[in-house]
Amino acid sequence: MTTLNAAELVKDDQAHLIHSLHHPLDHAEPLIYVEGKGAVVKDIQGKEYIDGLAGLWNVAVGHGREELARAASEQMKTLAYFSGYVGSSNVPAIRLATRLVELAYKNLTAVFFTCGGAESNESAFKTARFYWKAKGKPEKGKIIARENAYHGVTGQAMSATGMPLYWKMFEPRVPGFVHIQAPYPYRFQGARPGEGVGQAAARELEEKILAEGPETVAAFIAEPIIGGGGVIVPPDDYFPRVREICTRHQVLFIADEVITGFCRTGQWFALTHWGVEPDIMTFAKAVTSGYLPLGGIIVSAEIKAAMDSVRYEDRWMHAYTYSANPTCCAVALANLEIMERERLWERSARLGARLYEGFLGLLDLAHVGDVRGGRGLLAGVELTADRATKAPFPPGEKVGERVKREMEKRGVVTRIRGDVLLFAPPLVITEAQVDRLVEVVREAVQAVVPGKA
Ligand SMILES: Cc1ncc(COP(=O)(O)O)c(C=O)c1O
């Protein structure tokens, strides 16, 4: 592809293509990607980059897997699509649902498929409300979510998302969504003397349930490790307490494992780290490693029983055209086979430890305030203007954005949230690529905000 072609494509892109989070200021010099192999992607100019975020946290098995292309091609040639509405089914969807139930938490028994994360969370919220109505508790409708959470941007998912920038130009939000603080060790406010952040954040959940009235709360939703909101890893005592509180007050616990699912954290699913099971798990992204769109919810035996037992006129009138799409399900099955064959949860744990250790080494830089990780290949590096006060840089300085540019120049692409650099590379990344990634982050931070601690 010539440079001229690339320039023409950029012009057409800027004129005719609306991107997620669209703004021309962020799209003045877009990279156009044309190829990928393993943990590396190539742009239209032929420049190669380590993919620091596995696409959008999803390309777990890496780029360029012909096996997945074959699975799609074979299924498309056999039966590309047919309705998955009640009364009709297909073989890959049945096989995938069965496999997911085997892999997921023991108490989860039945799957509904969607096309992505937001649709999965929408489905989870509606199913939680459905469940309580089926149980004769129609007042239980509110959803408690957390600040810094990202759950997608459809109406309800946006309302659960705990980042006001996603609401501002689209309000009003869907009523019935309330927020509490996440267990964000670096910035949590309001822990009592002697109380850890995990305990304090769990206490906030219980206080919120009591303040709202347990008889009005349907569910609590949480990412086991917050992803897009800054890779926030909870203290170990948080989720066991959350589980107890939810059970005590009859509040369903929805785990949004859209990022953390499918080996990302060194386990198939992340709550395993803390020995906790949710009532509903939502998933998407790495279920197909992004090769085709697919997501879903997996619900507990109790919820499935409620769905099966309502009167016919009260049935679960929820649906998507592409639910249980045979081709997407066939690709997911092939993707899960790769994960198992290559034991990618182990690789994620091992390479994740290397990445985290590498990033901890950056704490000798004056403006690296916090390094988060240690649970598989998922890490965050938070930059700060002042290490002592944890004061952020003025947003106008766009420090995170500038560091990201410097990383791109040196051959690493990823995303940021403000001044937090986010990392979740493909699980097939090599040791040498991990080391190079860390080196590039060091150089990029030093180029923008130099200084030693
Ligand atoms: C934790 C989490 N939940 C939900 C979503 C929404 O997924 P989608 O963009 O497929 O709607 C995302 C997307 O990044 C996510 O990170």
Domains of the chain: 31-61+343-448 (3.90.1150.10), 67-341 (3.40.640.10)
**Residue 2: what pLDDT?**
53
Residue 391 per-residue DSSP state? B
In angstroms, rounded to a whole number, what is the distance separating the alpha carbons of residues 117 and 103?
A: 19
Q: pLDDT in tens for each of the 453 residues of the chain?
A: 455 599 999 999 999 999 999 999 999 999 999 999 999 999 999 999 999 999 999 999 999 999 999 999 999 999 999 999 999 999 999 999 999 999 999 999 999 999 999 999 999 999 999 999 999 999 999 999 999 999 999 999 999 999 999 999 999 999 999 999 999 999 999 999 999 999 999 999 999 999 999 999 999 999 999 999 999 999 999 999 999 999 999 999 999 999 999 999 999 999 999 999 999 999 999 999 999 999 999 999 999 999 999 999 999 999 999 999 999 999 999 999 999 999 999 999 999 999 999 999 999 999 999 999 999 999 999 999 999 999 999 999 999 999 999 999 999 999 999 999 999 999 999 999 999 999 999 999 999 999 998
Tokens of 24: 């021309």
Q: Are 256 and 223 within 8 A, CB to CB?
A: yes
**Residue 378: what pLDDT?**
98
* Residue 115 alpha carbon, nearest atom of ligand 1: 10
**Residue 62: what pLDDT?**
99
pLDDT tens digits, one per residue of 274-316: 999 999 999 999 999 999 999 999 999 999 999 999 999 999 9
**Residue 3: what pLDDT?**
57
Question: Is residue 406 in contact with ligand 1, taking CB distance under 6 Å?
Answer: no
Question: Is residue 117 in contact with ligand 1, taking CB distance under 6 Å?
Answer: yes
Q: Beta-carbon neighbour count of residue 33 at 10 Å?
A: 15
Sheet of strand 217-222, all strands in order from the earlier edge strand to the far edge:
108-114, 295-300, 280-283, 252-256, 217-222, 142-146, 177-180
Q: Tell me the CA–centroid distance for residue 56 and ligand 1, in Å.
A: 9
Question: Is residue 92 in contact with ligand 1, taking CB distance under 6 Å?
Answer: no
Q: Tell me the CA–centroid distance for residue 151 and ligand 1, in Å.
A: 5
Supply the residue whose CA is at minimum distance from atom 1 of ligand 1.
258
**Residue 239: what pLDDT?**
99
Question: Is residue 228 in contact with ligand 1, taking CB distance under 6 Å?
Answer: yes
Q: What is the pTM of this model?
A: 0.98
* Residue 295 alpha carbon, nearest atom of ligand 1: 10
Q: What is the dihedral of CA 100, 103, 108, 114, to 10 degrees?
A: -30
First to last CA, the chain: 45
* Residue 228 alpha carbon, nearest atom of ligand 1: 16
Q: Tell me the CA–centroid distance for residue 120 and ligand 1, in Å.
A: 9
Tokens of 322: 């592409």
pLDDT tens digits, one per residue of 408-436: 999 999 999 999 999 999 999 999 999 99
Question: Is residue 150 in contact with ligand 1, taking CB distance under 6 Å?
Answer: yes
Question: Is residue 118 in contact with ligand 1, taking CB distance under 6 Å?
Answer: yes
Best residue among 114, 151, 415 to mutate for probing ligand 1, ranked by most atoms within 8 Å of CB: 151
**Residue 304: what pLDDT?**
98
Q: Tell me the CA–centroid distance for residue 409 and ligand 1, in Å.
A: 28
